[in-house]
Amino acid sequence: MIESFETWYEATATRSTAALPLSQKLKADVCIVGGGLAGLTTCLELARAGLSVVLLEKSLLGSGASGRNGGFVSNGFALGMEDVERHVGLDAARALYDLSRKGTDYVRREVAPTDKMGDGWIVASRHDDHGGLKAHGQAMQQHYAEELQHFSTDETRQRLASPRYFESLLYPKAFHIHPLRYCLALAAKARLADAIIFENSPVISSQKSGSEFLIKTAHGEVRARHVVHCVSSTGRAVHKPSGRAVLPVATYIAVTEPLEQNSINTHSAIADTRRAGDYYRLIDQGRILWGGRITTRVSPPSRLAWRMKQDMLATYPALGDPKIEHSWAGLMGYALHKMPLIGRDAEGQWFATAFGGHGLNTTAMAGLILASAIVDGDDSYRRFVPFAPQWAFGQLGRLGVQGSYWLMQIKDKRDESRLFSST
C-alpha cells in the first residue's frame, strides 16, 4: 500500500458533514475559539451547565494536535513534577497534580469504551541510570500518591524485546485512546446539550465591546459575555497576550501495516526517558503507531515515513521491513516554562493553551476549570498564576528551542554511548 499522509485516525473515524461556516450575527453567553480538545471540553461543560455556547473552529474539529496525537492519557504536565515543585513548592505542585488527575479521570469517564485502546503506560530507560528511574518512581508515589510499578531490566525486556532498554516504570492507571473519535464524540455531546458549533470559521478578531466581547470571522460575528481562546500554536495572532507566549513545536507519527511480531509484547503505551524520545503503542490488528522526533519546523521533513521507520528499527531490528501505511506531523504549543497557560487577561478574555506534549488530560482539566470559573466563579485557574504567559521571543525563541532540542539529543546520545562503550 502507498504511504498516506492522511492520519490513521482520520482513516478510522467517521466525520459527519462539516458544520457550516458562521455567516450571521449571533449572541451567546460564551464564545469559544478553537475546536481542539481544550475548546471542545470547555464547550461541552458550559453547555451541560445550561449556558448558551458558540464554538468557532478555523478548519475541522480535531484537525489540530487533538485529533492526531499519540493518544496516551496520564496524569501530570509537559513539565516534569520535579521542576513544577522547584518552581512553586511541594504543596502547590501537589494541588496542580490533583487538577491534572481530574483531567485524566474526565477522559476516562467521557471516552467511549470502544475508543479506549489499552491500559497502562511504560516509561523505559535507554541507559542504566543506577536506580535513578526507581527513585523517581518512589518520589512520585510518596509526593503525589501516583500508583506505579517498577520493572527490572529483565522484566522490561520481556515486554520490550530490545537491548536498548533497561529498567522501566509502569503507570497502570494511564490508558490510551483514539483521540479523533474522542474529539468528535465530545462535539456530538456538546451539540446534544445545545451548543452551536461552526467549522471552517477562522476568527479574525476578538475585542471588548461595551460589557460584552465581539468575536468576528470573515462573514459573521458573535457577541458574548465571555470569550475563551483555545487555539494552541496555530492561531496565535487572535489573542496576543497568550499567543505571544506560545511556540509551535512539531512531532511526528507513523503507523505500520498490521504485523505479527514478538518485539513489543504489551498492549500498554510506551515511551522512553530521553528528553526527546520515542513514544509508541500497538493499535488495531497489530499495527505499531510510532511517534517521536521534535523540531520547531512547521512543515513535515522529506521522507518522513522512512525516517520514522529508521527510528523504529534502531530499537527493534527484528521487525524486519514493515510497511509504513500512514505518517504525519502535528503541531504542539509550548510556553517557555512548559506549563499550560490558563487564565484571564486584563480585559477579561479567557485563555487555555500551551499544553505541549501532555495535552490529553490537561485540556480536559482546563475545560473543567474554565467552565466552573465562568459558571460558579471558581478560582482554581489561579493555581496557574505562577505560570503566567511570558513573551516567547518570537522567531528567536523558536531558534532557541530548536537549539535546546539538539542539545538534548546530544546529551541523550552521550548517555547511551557511555553505556554501550562500557559494556
Ligand X SMILES: Cc1cc2nc3c(=O)[nH]c(=O)nc-3n(C[C@H](O)[C@H](O)[C@H](O)COP(=O)(O)OP(=O)(O)OC[C@H]3O[C@@H](n4cnc5c(N)ncnc54)[C@H](O)[C@@H]3O)c2cc1C
Is residue 118 at the binding interface for ligand X, with CB under 6 A as the rule? no
CA angle, residues 282, 109, 361, in degrees to nearest 5: 65
Is residue 389 at the binding interface for ligand X, with CB under 6 A as the rule? no
**Cβ distance to ligand X smaller for residue 22 or 373:** 22
Candidate ranges 2-10, 33-41, 119-127, 218-226; the one touching ligand X (CB under 6 A): 33-41
Is residue 39 at the binding interface for ligand X, with CB under 6 A as the rule? yes
Is residue 59 at the binding interface for ligand X, with CB under 6 A as the rule? yes
Q: Where are the alpha helices (DSSP H) in 285-358?
A: 304-315
Quote the CA–CA distance of 1 and 16 in Å, as a whole number.
Answer: 27
Is residue 111 at the binding interface for ligand X, with CB under 6 A as the rule? no
Quote the CA–CA distance of 62 and 40 in Å, as a whole number.
Answer: 9
CA angle, residues 159, 285, 186, in degrees to nearest 5: 100
Considering only residues 320 to 349 of the shown chain, the ones binding ligand X according to CB under 6 A are 330-332
Considering only residues 163 to 202 of the shown chain, the ones binding ligand X according to CB under 6 A are 202
**Cβ distance to ligand X smaller for residue 118 or 330:** 330
Total chain residues near ligand X (CB under 6 A): 42
Q: Which amino acid is at 246?
A: V
Candidate ranges 2-10, 356-364, 379-387, 414-422; the one touching ligand X (CB under 6 A): 356-364
Is residue 69 at the binding interface for ligand X, with CB under 6 A as the rule? yes
Q: Which of 13, 30, 33, 370 binds ligand X (CB under 6 A)?
A: 33
Quote the CA–CA distance of 72 and 119 in Å, as a whole number.
Answer: 9
**Cβ distance to ligand X smaller for residue 157 or 327:** 327
Is residue 220 at the binding interface for ligand X, with CB under 6 A as the rule? no
Quote the CA–CA distance of 354 and 282 in Å, as a whole number.
Answer: 28
CA torsion sign for 68, 227, 197, 378 is positive
Q: Which of 72, 106, 144, 166 binds ligand X (CB under 6 A)?
A: 72
**Cβ distance to ligand X smaller for residue 42 or 380:** 42
126's grid cell: 535507554
Is residue 65 at the binding interface for ligand X, with CB under 6 A as the rule? yes
Candidate ranges 21-29, 147-155, 226-234, 382-390; the one touching ligand X (CB under 6 A): 226-234
**Cβ distance to ligand X smaller for residue 66 or 156:** 66
Longest dimension (CA), the chain: 70
Instruction: Determine which helix (DSSP H) or strand (DSSP E) holds 156, and give its type and residue range.
Output: helix 153-159
Q: Which of 125, 156, 295, 363 binds ligand X (CB under 6 A)?
A: 363
Candidate ranges 4-12, 57-65, 259-267, 383-391; the one touching ligand X (CB under 6 A): 57-65
CA angle, residues 202, 205, 207, in degrees to nearest 5: 145
Is residue 36 at the binding interface for ligand X, with CB under 6 A as the rule? yes
268's grid cell: 500498554
Q: Quick one: DSSP state of residue 210?
A: T
Is residue 329 within 8 Å of residue 251, measured between CB atoms? yes
Is residue 150 within 8 Å of residue 137, measured between CB atoms? yes
263's grid cell: 518485539
Q: Which of 75, 156, 168, 251 binds ligand X (CB under 6 A)?
A: 251
How far is Cα of residue 343 from the mean position of the Cα atoms in its chain? Answer: 19
Is residue 37 at the binding interface for ligand X, with CB under 6 A as the rule? yes
How far is Cα of residue 77 from the mean position of the Cα atoms in its chain? Answer: 9
Q: Which of 13, 22, 32, 38 binds ligand X (CB under 6 A)?
A: 38
Q: Which of 63, 268, 295, 296 binds ligand X (CB under 6 A)?
A: 63
C-beta of 279: minimal distance to ligand X in Å?
6
Nearest alpha-carbon partner for 339 in 327, 348, 352: 352
Is residue 292 at the binding interface for ligand X, with CB under 6 A as the rule? no
Please identify which residue in the block is written with the cell numbers 562503550: 421
Instruction: Determine which helix (DSSP H) or strand (DSSP E) holds 53, and give its type and residue range.
Output: strand 53-56
**Cβ distance to ligand X smaller for residue 41 or 380:** 41
Quote the CA–CA distance of 213 and 246 in Å, as a whole number.
Answer: 23
Q: Which of 9, 45, 64, 255 binds ligand X (CB under 6 A)?
A: 64
What are the residues binding ligand X (CB under 6 A)? 33-39, 56-59, 63-66, 68-72, 202-203, 230-232, 234-235, 238, 251, 253, 291, 330-332, 353, 355-360, 363
